Amino acid sequence: MEGHRPRLALLALTQLIVALDYNIVYVALPGIGSALGFGPSSVQWVVSAYSVGLGGLLLFGGRAVDRLGARRMFMTGLALYGAASLAGGLASGAGTLVAARAVQGAGGALLTPATLALIYRGFAEGPARNKALGAWGMAGSAGLAAGSLLGGVLTHYLGWEWVFFVNVPLALGCALAAPRLLPADPARAPGSFDVPGAVLATAGSALLVFGLASGPDAGWASPRGAGSLAAGAVLFAVLLAVEARTRDPLIPLRLARGRGLATTMVVIAVFQGTLGGGYYILTSYLQPVLGYSSLEAGLTFLPLTLVCMLAALKATPVLLGRWGIRTTLAVSTIGTGAGIAAMVAGTTAGGGFWTLLPGSVVWGLFGGVAFVTLFASAGAGVPPEQQGVASGLASSAKEIGGALGLAAFVAIANGPGDLLHGLHAAGWAAAAATVAGGLIAFVLEPARPEVRDGESTSLEGALR
C-alpha cells in the first residue's frame, strides 16, 4: 500500500474533482437560472445534461478502458472535462451551458471507469482494495463537502461562472501528473471493438436519460419524454439481441447477468436516485423556502458531507472486513434512508441549520459507507480484463438511476400545492425508496471469511 500512495492520491484527487463538480452546481442553480434565462423546471438541465453525456457513454467508456488502456482513457477524460468546464464558465446562453455540460459528461464517461479500473487492477481484492476504495470514497465525500461550501463562496463573491472555472486547473494538474504516476497501459487486448454494440448502447442510454430528464419539463406524454424513453428501451432490446450473437461483445452478458453485479446495479440506481433527489430537496428548501443565500446554503450542507467523508475513510474498511459486502451494503443503505427521513422531518417552515443537523449526520454516516461498498461490490469477483466494463455497467446504473430519481422528485416537489408540502412528499418518497434498496441488497451472496493482506486468495472466494 505504501508504494501505491502517490498513485492512489492522484486517483482520489480525480474523484474529488468529479464530486466537486456534482455538488458545486446545485448551490449555484438559482444564480445560473436567473443569469441565463432558465425556467423553474428547465434549470435541472444544468444537472441533467451532464447525466445524459455521462450515462450515454459509460458503457462505451468502460469497454474503451479494457481495450485501449486505462491510463490513456484517464488522460483523455481529464482533457475533455477541463475543456468543457472552461466552456461552461464562458457560456453566455442556456444552450451553450447545456452543451458544455454534456461534453463534460462525456469526459466523465471515460474518466470514471478508468479511475475505478486502475483501483481494481492495482489493489488486490480484500483489505487492500477496501482501504483504497475507502480513500477514493473519502475524496469523493471531500469533493461534495468542498462543493457545498465552495459553490456558495464562489457564487456569492465571484459569480456562478467560477463553479466551472475551478475545475480547469485541477483537471490540467491531474492530466500532467498521470504519465509519471500511473502504470503504462499494457499491449492492447486482441479482438475487435464491438462498434454496433457501442452505437446501440450509447444511443439507448442517452435516450433513456434524456427522456427521464425531459419528463418534468416537456411532459411525460410528450415526444421528448415518452418518445425518448420508448426509443431507448427499443434500442436496449436490440442491443441485447446483438450482444448475444457477437463474438467479442461490448457487454459480456454473462457478466451482466451475474447475481452480484446485477444486484449491485439495482441498488446503486436506487441509491443515486435518492441522493440526487435529496440534494435537490435540500437546496430547494434552503433557498426558495427559507431564503438562504448561496453561501448559507453551502454551509448547511457541510456537516452532511464531512461526516460522509470520515465514514468512507474510517468506517467502511472496518465494516467490510467484519461483515462482508452484503451486510455492510444492506445496513448502510437502510441507514441512509433513515437519515433522509430524519432530514425531511427537520424541513419545517421555521427550521434551518439546527433542525437539519441530526438527519444530516445520520445520512452522512451511513451514506459514506454505502457509496464505497457499492463500488466494492461492483468489482468483486470480476476478472481484470473486464474491470472496465464492470465499472461502466455499475456507473451507468448510477447515472440512469440518478436521472430517474431527480426527474421523479422534481415532479413530486413541483406538483399541486405549496412548495414545502411538495418537498415533504418528495423527501418521504426518497427515504422509502432508499430503505427498499437496502432490502434488495440482501439478494447478494452472503459473506465469506475475508483473506488478510499477504495471504493467497481467489477471485471466486472473495465475493461477499
Query: Which of 23-27, 274-278, 300-304, 365-369 is predicted with the least confidence, judged by mean pLDDT?
Result: 23-27
Q: Alpha carbon of 114 to those of 69, 173, 275, 359: distances in Å?
A: 8, 17, 23, 34
| Confidence bin at 313 (pLDDT 50/70/90) | confident
Rounded Cα–Cα distance for residues 69 and 72 (Å): 5
1: pLDDT strictly greater than 80: no
Label residue 203 exposed, middle or buried (CB < 10 Å: 0-12, 13-18, 19+): middle
Query: Beta-carbon neighbour count of residue 222 at 10 Å?
Result: 14
Query: Residue 377 CB: number of other CB atoms within 10 A?
Result: 27
pLDDT at 30 over 90: no
Q: Among positive and negative, which fits the CA dihedral 414, 364, 377, 441?
A: negative
Residue 336 pLDDT > 90: yes
Location of C-alpha cell 450542507:
301
d(CA 236, CA 232): 6
Q: Is residue 457 very low, low, confident or very high in pLDDT (cuts 50, 70, 90)?
A: very low
pLDDT digits (tens, 9 = 90+) for 110-123: 998 898 888 888 78
The pTM assigned to this predicted structure is 0.75
Output 105 or 379, whichever has higher pLDDT: 105
Whether the pLDDT of residue 139 is over 60: the answer is: yes
Helices (H) and strands (E) in the chain, counts: 17, 0
Q: Give the per-residue pLDDT at 297.
A: 80
**For residue 259, with 0-12 CB atoms within 10 Å meaning exposed, 13-18 middle and 19 or more buried, which class applies?**
exposed
Which 3 state secondary structure label does DSSP give 75? Answer: helix
pLDDT of 299 reads 82
Q: What is the dihedral of CA 328, 333, 338, 341, to 10 degrees?
A: 170
Helices 353-379 and 294-310: crossing angle in degrees, nearest 10, is 50
pLDDT surpassing 50 at residue 449: no
Question: Which residues are CB-neighbours of 34 under 8 A, at least 6 positions away?
Answer: none
Distances (CA, A) of 197 to 3, 65, 244, 387, 445: 39, 15, 10, 18, 30
The mean predicted confidence, pLDDT, of the chain is: 82
Contact 251, 66 (CB under 8 A): no
What pLDDT is recorded for position 191?
A: 59
- Which range, of 2-11, 215-224, 331-340, 448-457, averages the lowest pLDDT? 448-457
Going from the C-alpha of 285 to that of each of 178, 293, 303, 333, 364, the distances in angstroms are 41, 12, 17, 24, 18
Please report the pLDDT score of residue 335 as a whole number: 96
CA 453 from centre of chain: 29
The mean per-residue pLDDT over the stretch 243-252 comes to: 76
Q: Is the pLDDT of residue 452 over 60?
A: no
Measured in degrees and rounded to the nearest 5, phi and psi for residue 40 equal: -60, -35
Half-sphere exposure of 268 (CA within 13 A, CB side): 24
The model's pLDDT over 187-199, given as tens digits with 9 standing for 90+, comes to 765 556 677 887 8
Residues with Cβ < 8 Å from 202, sequence gap 6 or more?
Answer: 56, 57, 59, 60
Using the predicted structure, report yes or no on whether residue 138 has a pLDDT greater than 90: no
Contacts of 135 (CB under 8 A, 6+ apart): 8, 12, 313
For residue 451, pLDDT over 50 is answered with: no
The pLDDT value given to residue 427: 93
* 156-209 pLDDT per residue, tens: 788 889 989 988 999 999 999 999 999 888 776 555 667 788 788 878 877 887
